[in-house]
Amino acid sequence: MKDRKDVQREERQAVFLGTRHYFVLLVLVSLLAGLVTRALYLQIVEQDFLASQGVQRQIRTIETPAYRGAILDRFGTPLAISTPVDSVWVNPQEILENLAALKQISAKLDLDYRDTVTMLKQRANREFVYLKRQLEPEFARQVASGIEGVYLQREYHRFYPAGEVVSHLVGFTNIDDQGQEGLELVYQDWLRAQPGQRRVIRNRRGEVVEELAQVTAARSGNDVYTSIDMRLQYIAYRSLARAIKYHAARAGSAVLLDARSGEVLAIVNQPSYNPNRRTSMAAAQLRNRALTDVFEPGSAIKPFTIAAALDRGSYHRGSSIDTSPGYMMVSGHAVKDIRNYGVLDLPGILRKSSNVGASRVALSLEPEELWQSFHDYGFGEPSGVAFPGESSGYFRHFGQWQPLDHATMGFGYGMSLSITQLARAYGVIANQGRLSELSLLRKEPAEIRDNEISRHVMKAATARQVLNMLTEVVGPSGTAQQAAVDGYLVAGKTGTAKKSIAGGYQKDDYVAVFAGIAPASNPRLVMAVMIDEPTQNGYYGGVVAAPVFQEVISNALRILDVPPDNLPTLAHKKGKGA
């Protein structure tokens, strides 16, 4: 039998247990009430605030891509255009938590998995990292399809439809669409696109689920219309490349001008490169040699020596110059012709390409007179095309001339110029003595009219006389018979110059040159050709460079529908040129 104390102890324990049970129940009920109250507060009072906060965590400002402006020929044929591509990107924080997906995407993109992981870990604090850029859109979609944490970004890739044919002029951009060479660099600000920005809501997979607002509108770049006629550019490129191969030459350039407007219709170089495939490009291939490389033009300068003398009234067409015995001594150095031509008139000096005759004419002028005339014709100054790296050539002031410099200047030694400068100078003869600023951009009719009143640097009568003399150079007794074009009267001059080195000239390395005008009765086209170091099948300008001129000009006159001016046709006879 329990004693009284045990009974009391049991009663106290029962009361305690009952009290604790109700206390626990009260606490639980209180917590539940608190949760319900909090939930009701959040759902009713804080609903708008919390919803906006959730949206804010998914709102992103993303870029709206825009097209870079196109580069076109004078008729709208594309030379450089932008095509849509997709780039693959990831959020390192997301993709590093799913290494299986990263391994899968690395394999598809032909990336080294370990290198990719290392790279992403180094950039783990970022939210946006490219894995591979500028992929064909269909391939990019296949790569990213079904892989969590891998996204696509639309971009534009620069494509050059004409490839190497016009690469030196157009240039190229880098992967971020910034101009690096050529017109892409010159007109970067004009061509550049201005991407837009828009605010969107993205889900956790990076997909846009709602467009919220346009922050800034995208602005595509402006187009550039060049002066180039791609029909003529293709012909010039093909002809030059064939000549370089046939004569096993080191390099070459050619420039074709509209004689009336000063527009560059074609400008080509060898060696060239394809801007769509840049992995194997060498630095030497990137130069636009027609504008950046200079050379001593040799006999191609003789028409301007004659023009300087005619302009100052020192000579007339029939003036006689005795070139006997085929050489002359100047300051202990011999100026030579390939044979003794005896007494020549001015057309004869050009027709026979007499160094002695040209030197005698040059020496009869004061150094300042000859220098001023050559300077007026554009030697020693840029051509006006505003191209990166263009050379102004080398043309010393007459105050630095020695008697030998004075003499050799008359036949193109002691000075250097680019083939574009030479073409521009022949444009003076074609354009009745007016020097035009050349242009790589298409000119509007009003601009062409303005160009027609460009500064006179040669008397119109002198230009006509020299033009007529140059037709004899292309005639049966001249050095440029291979430049003749059936049905057309062609004027031009050959040049063959030894290449200079430190302390003198290389013995067997030459530059072959021809510059000409067609048709001579009403000039429409001017073209200059330079072949550097021909080593096979001749090296004279009349044999190496003149045939390039003939092929391009004959096609150009037909394409431009220029009527013949010399029927019956000129006879073609092969012969050497000076």
Each residue's pLDDT tens digit, 160-209: 999 999 999 999 998 888 999 999 999 999 999 887 777 766 655 555 65
**What is the sign, positive or negative, of the torsion defined by CA atoms of 327, 330, 334, 338?**
negative
Q: 192 and 237 share a domain?
A: no
Domains identified in the chain, total number: 2
Residue 339 has pLDDT above 90, yes or no: yes
Q: Is residue 52 part of a domain?
A: no
Q: 243 and 189 share a domain?
A: no
pLDDT digits (tens, 9 = 90+) for 469-526: 999 999 999 999 999 999 999 999 999 999 877 667 777 899 999 999 999 999 999 9
Q: 182 and 87 share a domain?
A: yes
Q: In this structure, are strands 504-518 and 525-532 parallel, antiparallel, or unpaired?
A: antiparallel
pLDDT band at 363; cut points 50, 70, 90: very high
Instruction: Say which of 87, 106, 261, 299 is annotated catalytic.
Output: 299
Mean confidence (pLDDT) of the chain = 86
Catalytic status, residue 299: yes
Nearest to 478 by CA among 347, 362, 389: 347
CATH, residue 319? 3.40.710.10
Q: Is residue 43 part of a domain?
A: no
Q: Is residue 510 part of a domain?
A: yes
Q: 165 and 267 share a domain?
A: no
Which value, in Å, is the radius of gyration of the alpha carbons in the chain? 39
Q: 537 and 510 share a domain?
A: yes
Q: Is residue 414 part of a domain?
A: yes
The pLDDT value given to residue 207: 59
Q: Is residue 546 part of a domain?
A: yes
| Model confidence pTM above 0.95 | no
Q: Is residue 506 part of a domain?
A: yes
Range of the domain at 255: 230-273+295-559
Distance CA 573, CA 430 (A): 25
Q: 172 and 253 share a domain?
A: no
* CA 247 vs CA 165, 484, 535, 541: distances in Å: 20, 20, 6, 12
The pLDDT value given to residue 355: 96
Q: Is residue 243 part of a domain?
A: yes
- Dihedral-angle region of residue 81 (phi above 0 means left; psi in -120 to 50 means alpha; beta otherwise): beta
